[in-house]
């Protein structure tokens, strides 16, 4: 089988890790071709097996119709059995795959676009509703996205499939090493949709409300992105720079997860974040905003969902609760590990994709 994956770029990120993990877990007799509309990171490409080829289409900013021609020629050269596109930026290429007569055409929604976090923008809704006619199946990675595609967008029910993200629980394991300071952790792209501003503001408020908290906790933020400079400036203005460690982009995130006492996400929109699953698999309690698929992962047995009103106070109060009751926080972490093992297995996810790629009833 020849399988073409299409992504906007291949750099550090949750979607990209899902792709790489699937490629590594799928049977070795599948020939993978990963097409990046823009570019890919050499360090990330090193994680791929030998049966994988990488391509750059060199898309320019804005509309670049020449990409369609280059992609069509590439498909005619590869002659794939399956084309799998990821997220809105690549969805239009489903039409090109249909023109090239690719038998199976899969599109996956891993989360909504930064310019449309609630899925209400008319042009994007129309685009998805038009392109579904040229797509064999549409995958949602969370129950929230699944309901949105099926009920709100009213895509044909027979075409929408739910495949929740999963992670390797044999790799992401808890550490038995003792910790010194109480370490609040976050891993993710530094971007407005991830809303790390709220995390910094809530942490600063907790420090202001409890001096002992300020002296005995640290906040570690792992990741890079367009908001990096803005967040560092905000940290300075909030007078918390001595407590906050901006660790930058990291390929080896396991050691960071294992150093966290709790994991926090304050995103405005999400699917099911890989970083959340990985942290919980490492036995870390979670505190997240109740958006996207995160309430499907986090309940009161494994962590906290922030209130939607008085957001800064909610984040601050939750962080203080996690710190003040360390025994309960540790118990939440134990439960978090069990929940990921039971419900978010990487192998189960890969098996579902493998079945989807080979189903006869998706060929039309």
**Is 23 among the domain residues?**
yes
Q: Which of 169, 184, 192, 174 is nearest to 222 (CA)?
A: 184
**Is 174 among the domain residues?**
no
CATH of the domain at 293: 3.40.50.2000
The mean pLDDT of 19-42, rounded to a whole number, is 92
In terms of domains, do 130 and 197 share one?
Answer: no
Tell me how many domains the chain contains: 2
In terms of domains, do 139 and 273 share one?
Answer: no
- Per-residue confidence (pLDDT) for residue 46, from 0 to 100: 85
Q: What is the domain extent for residue 151?
A: 2-166+345-362
**Is 177 among the domain residues?**
no
In terms of domains, do 250 and 187 share one?
Answer: yes
**Is 175 among the domain residues?**
no
Residue 363 has pLDDT above 50, yes or no: no
* pTM, to two decimals: 0.84
In terms of domains, do 246 and 352 share one?
Answer: no
**Is 120 among the domain residues?**
yes
**Is 257 among the domain residues?**
yes
Buried b (16+ CB within 10 A) or exposed e, 341-351: eeebbbeebbe
How many other C-beta atoms are found inside a 10 Å radius of the C-beta of residue 166?
26
In terms of domains, do 90 and 23 share one?
Answer: yes
- Per-residue confidence (pLDDT) for residue 63, from 0 to 100: 87
Residue 178 has pLDDT above 80, yes or no: no
In terms of domains, do 199 and 108 share one?
Answer: no
In terms of domains, do 334 and 349 share one?
Answer: no
**Is 353 among the domain residues?**
yes
Tell me how far apart the alpha carbons of residues 114 and 276 are, in angstroms, rounded to a whole number.
19
- Per-residue confidence (pLDDT) for residue 362, from 0 to 100: 44
Residue 207 has pLDDT above 70, yes or no: yes
120 with 130: CB under 8 angstroms? no
Residue 43 has pLDDT above 80, yes or no: no
The mean pLDDT of 201-205, rounded to a whole number, is 98
In terms of domains, do 208 and 132 share one?
Answer: no
The per-residue pLDDT for range 267-323, each reduced to its tens digit, is: 998 989 999 999 999 999 999 999 999 999 999 999 999 998 889 999 999 999 999
| C-alpha separations of 317 from 199, 238, 364 in Å | 12, 17, 54
In terms of domains, do 212 and 117 share one?
Answer: no
Q: Name every residue whose Cβ is closer than 8 Å to that of residue 307 and which is 6 or more positions away in sequence.
A: 314
The mean pLDDT of 57-69, rounded to a whole number, is 93
In terms of domains, do 302 and 155 share one?
Answer: no
Residue 364 has pLDDT above 60, yes or no: no
For the chain, what is the mean pLDDT? 94
**Is 293 among the domain residues?**
yes
The per-residue pLDDT for range 90-121, each reduced to its tens digit, is: 999 999 999 999 999 999 999 887 788 889 99
In terms of domains, do 237 and 97 share one?
Answer: no
In terms of domains, do 40 and 95 share one?
Answer: yes
The per-residue pLDDT for range 217-257, each reduced to its tens digit, is: 999 999 999 999 999 999 999 999 999 999 999 989 999 99
């Amino acid at each position: 089988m020849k399988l073409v994956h299409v992504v906007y770029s291949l750099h550090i990120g949750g979607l990209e890790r899902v792709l790489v993990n699937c490629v590594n877990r799928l049977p070795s007799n599948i020939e993978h071709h990963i097409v990046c509309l823009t570019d890919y990171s050499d360090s990330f490409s090193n994680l791929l097996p030998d049966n994988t080829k990488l391509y750059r289409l060199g898309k320019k900013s804005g509309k670049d119709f020449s990409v369609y021609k280059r992609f069509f020629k590439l498909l005619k050269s590869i002659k794939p059995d399956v084309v799998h596109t990821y997220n809105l930026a690549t969805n239009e290429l489903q039409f090109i795959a249909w023109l090239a007569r690719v038998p199976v055409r899969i599109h996956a929604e891993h989360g909504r676009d930064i310019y449309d976090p609630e899925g209400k923008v008319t042009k994007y809704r129309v685009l998805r509703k038009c392109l579904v006619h040229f797509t064999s199946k549409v995958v949602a990675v969370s129950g929230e996205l699944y309901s949105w595609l099926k009920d709100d967008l009213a895509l044909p029910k027979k075409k929408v499939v739910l495949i929740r993200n999963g992670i390797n629980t044999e790799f992401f394991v808890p550490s038995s090493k003792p910790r010194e300071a109480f370490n609040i952790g976050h891993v993710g792209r530094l971007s407005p949709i991830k809303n790390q501003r709220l995390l910094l503001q809530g942490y600063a408020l907790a420090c202001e409300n409890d001096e002992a908290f300020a002296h005995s906790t640290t906040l570690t933020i792992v990741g890079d992105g367009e908001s990096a400079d803005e967040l560092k400036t905000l940290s300075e203005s909030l007078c918390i720079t001595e407590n906050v460690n901006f660790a930058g982009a990291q390929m080896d995130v396991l050691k960071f997860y294992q150093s966290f006492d709790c994991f926090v996400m304050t995103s405005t929109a999400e699917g099911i974040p890989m970083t959340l699953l990985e942290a919980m698999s490492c036995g870390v309690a979670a505190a997240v905003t109740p958006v996207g698929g995160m309430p499907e992962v986090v309940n009161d047995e494994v962590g906290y969902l922030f209130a939607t009103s008085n957001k800064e106070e909610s984040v601050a109060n939750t962080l203080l609760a996690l710190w003040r009751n360390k025994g309960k926080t540790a118990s939440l972490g134990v439960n978090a590990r069990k929940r990921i093992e039971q419900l978010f297995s990487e192998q189960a996810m890969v098996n579902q994709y493998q079945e989807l790629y080979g189903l006869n009833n998706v060929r039309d």
